[in-house]
Amino acid sequence: MNWKRKDLLDIRDLSNEEILFILDTAESFKDISKREIKKVPTLRGKTVITLFYESSTRTRTSFEIAAKRLSADTINISSSTSSATKGESLKDTARNLESMRPDAIVIRHSMPGAPHMLAGILDSSIINGGDGSHEHPTQALLDLYTIREKKGRTDGLSIVIVGDIAHSRVARSNIFSLKSFGNDVICCGPPTMIPPYIETLGVRVEYDLQKAVRKADVIMMLRIQKERGGTKYIPSTKEYSTLYGLTKKHVAMAADDVIIMHPGPMNRGIEIMDDVADGPSSVILDQVENGVAVRMAILYLLIGGEA
């Protein structure tokens, strides 16, 4: 297929064909990370800026490694050490960065739509690295890649997403991709964390974790987001952990070949117990490994060819 996009802003606007094209491209890139020389010259001379207004370990490192393995130069900017602390607006920061002629800017911002605003005013390719509680498209793509790798397909699976659905951009992006491929998606969590009308996205809601995980092919755990006030919606983390923390008992109720996913960082002992996180069904570290390949594919597709 012919890739025509300048930016990667959300899963919702990608067609299934585009999503599969990204995953197929990522497969070719996965091998590069396993070689002794983990670098190809493809994006030589290109510059990628990561502009992060929220903290991140995985996403930023993953993008940086992806860019470096393709021979692009990378520059990291965190809001805490940038002129944002001096009161510069996002628009001004972005316009100034654009004057230094980067080819792509990966942005993470607490404001939903921030990447879309930049995409409208800049010529550089904009990649959404997470915008508030709106979307985190590269996470959904690496999750789908991992599901396809482990299950051999992207459709017809029973998938449970557990946790703070209301404030999770990971949940939203995953719901869009998993539903558009025709999976059965169940959202599970305390009623305060399940947004009203979520069923309009085609998902089912189940408040009881034991019922939700029954025969599940994939269980996707979400983090209690303390920085987004996540703990305000539950009486205590102890109670949350008792009702919604994933234990071995839950894993045993799911399908025999269930996979357990978590976007990280994990709150061990709260939403997921140690023996599950480190157990044989866990694919949490595969997700991280696949993240690099998926982000290499995205960078390649967005800035590799002629605009």
Closest CB 293 distance from another protein, rounded Å: 11
Burial of 179 (0-12, 13-18, 19+ CB in 10 A): middle
Q: In DSSP terms, which residues pair with 104 in a beta bridge?
A: 48, 125
Both tokens assigned to 111: 């404001």
User: How far, in Å, CA of 234 to CA of 8, rounded?
Assistant: 34
**CA-based nearest residue to 212, from 163, 263, 266, 147:** 163
**CA-based nearest residue to 158, from 223, 213, 222:** 213
User: 166-205 mask for another protein (x: CB under 8 A)?
Assistant: ----------------------------------------
Closest CB 153 distance from another protein, rounded Å: 19
Binders of another protein among residues 25 to 64 (CB under 8 A) are: 25, 27-29, 31-32, 35-37, 39-42
Query: Is the Cβ of residue 159 or residue 299 nearer to another protein in the bound state?
Result: 299
Residue count, binding to another protein (CB under 8 A): 21
User: 62-101 mask for another protein (x: CB under 8 A)?
Assistant: --------x-------------------------------
Residues 6+ apart with CB under 8 A from 275: 247, 248
Residues in the chain: 307
Three-state DSSP class for residue 247? coil
Is there binding between residue 304 and another protein (CB under 8 A)? yes
> 31-59: buried (b, 16+ CB within 10 Å) or exposed (e) per residue?
ebbeeeeeeeebbeebbbbbbbbbebebb
Residues 6+ apart with CB under 8 A from 180: 16, 19
Closest CB 145 distance from another protein, rounded Å: 15
Binders of another protein among residues 264 to 303 (CB under 8 A) are: 300-301
Query: Is the Cβ of residue 189 or residue 304 nearer to another protein in the bound state?
Result: 304
Is there binding between residue 123 and another protein (CB under 8 A)? no
Cβ pair 128, 137 in contact under 8 A:
yes
Query: Is the Cβ of residue 25 or residue 56 nearer to another protein in the bound state?
Result: 25
Query: Is the Cβ of residue 70 or residue 224 nearer to another protein in the bound state?
Result: 70
Query: Is the Cβ of residue 39 or residue 226 nearer to another protein in the bound state?
Result: 39
Both tokens assigned to 108: 């993470």
Query: Is the Cβ of residue 41 or residue 196 nearer to another protein in the bound state?
Result: 41
Closest CB 54 distance from another protein, rounded Å: 31
Query: Is the Cβ of residue 30 or residue 150 nearer to another protein in the bound state?
Result: 30
3-state helix, strand, coil in the chain (%, to 5): 45, 15, 35
Is there binding between residue 17 and another protein (CB under 8 A)? no
Closest CB 14 distance from another protein, rounded Å: 15
User: How far, in Å, CA of 46 to CA of 301, rounded?
Assistant: 13
Query: Is the Cβ of residue 5 or residue 238 nearer to another protein in the bound state?
Result: 5
Question: Applying CB under 8 A, which residues contact another protein?
Answer: 2-3, 25, 27-29, 31-32, 35-37, 39-42, 70, 300-301, 304-306
